[in-house]
Chains A and B, each alone.
Chain A
Amino acid sequence: MFVKFLFLISTLLTLAGAIGVVAVKNIMHACVFLLASLIGVAGLYVTLGADFVSAVQLVVYVGGVVILMIFAVMLTGGDKADFFNKFGFEKVSAMGNKKTYLVGSAVLIVFTLSVGKIIFNIIDLKSSKDPQSYVSTVEQLGHLLLTDHVLAFEASSVVLLGALIGAAIIARPNRGVK
């Protein structure tokens, strides 16, 4: 019962946040809607029994990535400037206009029709099978990360170090000027 309630709340938060990211005209509001969507996905992880993944999602995504996005929005001054191309006969607003949304919707319809032929045949929303009960996954995940997946674990540490150093070097102003 509680799981179903949490599932409904999280689904609502996820879908509303995703729609908000698509529809809203202000980039800062879009960041806040993305925050709602990511919190909803963390709630869905809880209903799936993935407690550690849910905690990591909250800490890394909600606490890290979205804050980084908001920093970048503030450092670049929002979405005030429109783009004029060289000949000056076309102007596209930074948050998209009717034409770009039309093209995107056409792509989505084609995608949904092609994928939906497969997906909508196998959907059954009334599954009565109850999967295993909820247990803590932290200990098993630790064992897996340090036995089966230890190479990927170490490689991801190198990836993170490289990404952070690269980000610091790329964002440094006046490169090459002593």
Chain B
Amino acid sequence: MISLSSYLLISFFLFLCGILVIIARKNIIAILLGIELLLNSAALNFVAYSRYTAQNLDGHIFALFIIVIAAAEAAVGLAIVIRFFQIKESIHIDDASQLQS
């Protein structure tokens, strides 16, 4: 059968891709995409460990709450991005250098 390590490797690779997106991209929406990848890798780890070692469903509960928090974070983050675009006419992260416009 499929072992736990293969899921861990997939999750590790997703995490690396998320980190690379966050560091290398300068577009605020692209950085939010990277954060979604990171959250997915964490939730995948929770569910995999829940099946292979814990023998109960607490990992599924954690994955559900991660999905809920990610949805809330995406809503607030994209609202901030849209407001920032209305003020600065840009979504470049280096334009976001002051708290007060």
Interface residues of A (CB under 8 A from B): 3-4, 7, 11, 14-15, 18-19, 21-22, 27, 30-31, 34, 37-38, 41, 44-45, 47-50, 52-53, 56-57, 60-61, 64-65, 68-69, 71-73, 75-77, 79, 81-83, 85, 92-96, 100-101, 103-105, 107-108, 111-112, 115, 119, 122-132, 137, 140-141, 144-145, 149, 152, 156, 159-160, 162-164, 166-168, 170-171, 173
Contact = CB atoms under 8 A, between A and B. Distances in A.
Given A65-B70, A122-B5, A171 B57 contact: no
B32 to A, nearest CB: 7
Contact of B51 (A48, A125, A167): A48
A92 to B, nearest CB: 5
Contacts of A173: 86
Contacts of B67: 53, 56-57, 60-61
20 contacts: A41-B40, A48-B48, A48-B50, A57-B67, A65-B70, A65-B71, A81-B91, A94-B91, A96-B26, A119-B12, A124-B3, A128-B1, A140-B57, A141-B57, A160-B71, A163-B72, A163-B73, A163-B76, A164-B75, A170-B83
A152 B65 contact: yes
Contacts of B76: 163, 166-167, 170
A81 B79 contact: no
Interface of B is mostly: helix
Contact of A92 (B13, B26, B33, B90): B26
- Most chain B CB atoms below 10 A, which of A115, A162, A170: A170
Contact of B72 (A14, A95, A160): A160
B26 A53 contact: no
Contacts of B29: 27, 69, 72-73, 76
B70 to A, nearest CB: 7
A71 B44 CA distance: 27
A172 B11 CA distance: 37
A164 B72 CA distance: 7
A132 B57 CA distance: 13
A75 B10 CA distance: 33
B8 A119 contact: yes
A101 B67 CA distance: 29
B63 to A, nearest CB: 5
B92 to A, nearest CB: 4
B41 to A, nearest CB: 9
